[in-house]
Copies of this chain bind each other. A is one copy, B any other.
């Protein structure tokens, strides 16, 4: 009987080996509970039918327990995968009120009561679709890849008497056809972000409906508009306690540190702590932009597999790790259109920032935005990747190479350091490898070429400029 709950499923990156990936378009993330048999591609699938119910019994929640353990009737026959997903992150997600408010204000801004058609992809239990219906949308189609989750969404819609407006379709959005919708959507809304911005392949799923004409780039507003994946080097002696071991009394334990994993991006939720319960210091003068995504215009091919990034230290300190977080934004329509009380409400809901006199609806996994938002930490949190600045030398043999030890990066105030960012083929995950401390001459050269080399955004812009 496993009391063990696996690491967050929705919020984890897909694995080439273990996790599910989408057979189409090289999309890395397939939602939990979703399947994509080839038959579904060959023969158009009727998503209005309640199919895929056949696996209920074999996966029943009660089967996880010995017979003398009590399991209430409400859970007994429910698929285990649904119970796990809901308890792992759905309660947290639905209780993240600033998140809900962010989407509410976005929908409110774009819905004209009685006129607007809304498509949601990755609808989960249907909260955003129901918001759209309450805001007066003419029609709402909620697409959800997991059979069990779609059933739950239908129950929620019924409970709120919104069946007249909201249609829940059990399918992957990549299987959605124009004929499944009453018309071209005026609004496409989705919340398919992971602990990493593209950890659930948000861009790929949106590009898919863009390219197949399910939405009309000139007509359909995509909510939210854009997102940025940031990284910042951090110093934390506390983190060292679970990532390194040197000695205890007179016993040398350093052999164990050779096994330090400086390759994987690990979520705070996987480590098992909230960042607020681990003291740390940010060492950068400014966060590094790894990815800048405009969901209306960015294309997967805009992102390079490898690109250099530079970071300048704002104080002396040892950098143990890169800490990764993201920000999603959506412009507030010109002040004339947005009533003052709406903006006030959004600000109170912690879903608005005023950025250089520009009003922007805003949602992020910045540590300061999750510190007082327990549900957001439990849905997303942040990610960490350890920094190893050892310059590994080619050894004479495997044994000699294996003996070299990892080391954290000592940073000096004002100095600039170069890393190489590798992006996985499916953009679901990345890795930052230390290259060198930038010498002053390098620095001047770098400044000249700054637009071309410091951020992925720059790389994208440069590429677009050439086209």
Contact residues of A with B, CB < 8 Å? 1-8, 12-19, 61, 64-66, 68-75, 77-78, 82-84, 86-87, 90-92, 94-95, 97, 100, 104, 125, 127, 130-131, 134, 152, 155-156, 159-160, 238, 241-245, 248-274, 276-278, 305-306, 374-375, 377-378, 381, 383, 388, 390, 392, 395, 398, 401-406, 420, 422, 424-425, 428-429, 431, 433
Q: Contact at B3–A68, with CB atoms within 8 Å?
A: no
Q: A404-B72, A405-B74 are in contact. Are A3 and B13 (CB under 8 A)?
A: yes
Tell me, in angstroms, the Cα distance from A267 to B4 when the chains sit together: 8
Q: Which residues of B contact A395 (CB under 8 A)?
A: 73
Q: A2-B12, A6-B7, A152-B255 are in contact. List 9 more A-B contacts (CB 8 A).
A: A3-B12, A74-B403, A75-B262, A87-B243, A91-B241, A91-B257, A125-B256, A131-B249, A271-B378
Task: Tell me the minimal C-beta distance from A364 to chain B in angstroms.
Answer: 18
Contact of A66 among B97, B270, B425 (CB under 8 A): B425
- Name 10 interchain pairs, CB-CB below 8 A, sorted by A: A4-B13, A70-B420, A74-B406, A90-B256, A94-B253, A104-B249, A127-B251, A156-B253, A159-B254, A273-B377
Q: Contact at B263–A65, with CB atoms within 8 Å?
A: yes
- Chain B residue at minimum C-beta to C-beta distance from A14: B2
Tell me, in angstroms, the Cα distance from A78 to B259 when the chains sit together: 8
Contact of A72 among B241, B255, B264, B406 (CB under 8 A): B406
Task: Tell me the minimal C-beta distance from A219 to chain B in angstroms.
Answer: 28
Q: Contact at B97–A248, with CB atoms within 8 Å?
A: yes
Q: A17-B2, A272-B378 are in contact. Are A248 and B100 (CB under 8 A)?
A: yes
Q: Which residues of B contact A75 (CB under 8 A)?
A: 259, 261-263
Q: Contact at A270–B4, with CB atoms within 8 Å?
A: yes
Tell me, in angstroms, the Cα distance from A409 to B30 when the chains sit together: 38
Q: A15-B4, A253-B127, A378-B273 are in contact. Are A404 and B268 (CB under 8 A)?
A: no
